Amino acid sequence: AQTVTQSQPEMSVQEAETVTLSCTYDTSESDYYLFWYKQPPSRQMILVIRQEAYKQQNATENRFSVNFQKAAKSFSLKISDSQLGDAAMYFCAYRTVSGGGADGLTFGKGTHLIIQP
Amino acid sequence: NAGVTQTPKFQVLKTGQSMTLQCAQDMNHEYMSWYRQDPGMGLRLIHYSVGAGITDQGEVPNGYNVSRSTTEDFPLRLLSAAPSQTSVYFCASRGGQYNSPLHFGNGTRLTVT
């Protein structure tokens, strides 16, 4: 079974600065998908960014980008120009493409991001 | 543009009571799923469905039942609530391709006393 590890329970960054959230995963598969979700205090789960393992190029979405290191099984999220609205829990998640098993997402335990004004 | 709708938003049950958490989506998604979120645990998959009439167990299925009679609805049933089922429950759906992201409902906070 796949596992996802977020080693930083909490991170703090000054507004307008850059912060990187780490995520590592364990899998024996060669093809899969990785996601970052944001959960603000409203409890809503919001997709931030996704990466397909067979793509070498790192995904970017405006101020959000990832550093995908397939060999190291690492998938970190970089947030540039941090804004107060970025304060939230961030979850890294893995999805298999094998078609078997639960076919759901395996989530890490989350990183609580605090933005200091 | 409702997306995934969950009801109720909050619920308090006594041990042994039963209830159904409702989930509906209007995106014609084949895949639907239920997760529970506990402090420090992330989200864990309870049950999922890949289409009407098809359901299967996830990581933590014990104590929960599901059915999928239509594409739109995927209710989660607690037959005899236990304090260990106190959690926040999320319903989610996605399109058929593997790179399709999950669309989540706004969650139900359930407390079992």
pLDDT in tens, A3-23: 999 999 999 999 999 999 999
Q: Residue B48 and residue A108: Cβ atoms within 8 Å?
A: no
Taking CA A50 as the corner, what is the angle to CA A11 and CA A31, rounded to the nearest 5 degrees?
Answer: 115
User: B68 φ, ψ to 5°?
Assistant: -140, 90
Q: Which of residues 10-69 of A touch B (CB under 8 A)?
A: 33, 35, 42-45, 47, 50, 52
3-state secondary structure of B28: coil
DSSP label of B60: S
Tokens of B100: 């399709």
Averaged pLDDT, B64-77: 97
| CA distance readout (Å), B4 to A94, A102, B99, B106 | 21, 20, 19, 8
Has residue A99 got a pLDDT over 80? no
At B107 the pLDDT is: 95
Residue in chain B nearest A92 by alpha carbon: B42
The values of phi and psi at residue B110, to 5°, are -110, 130
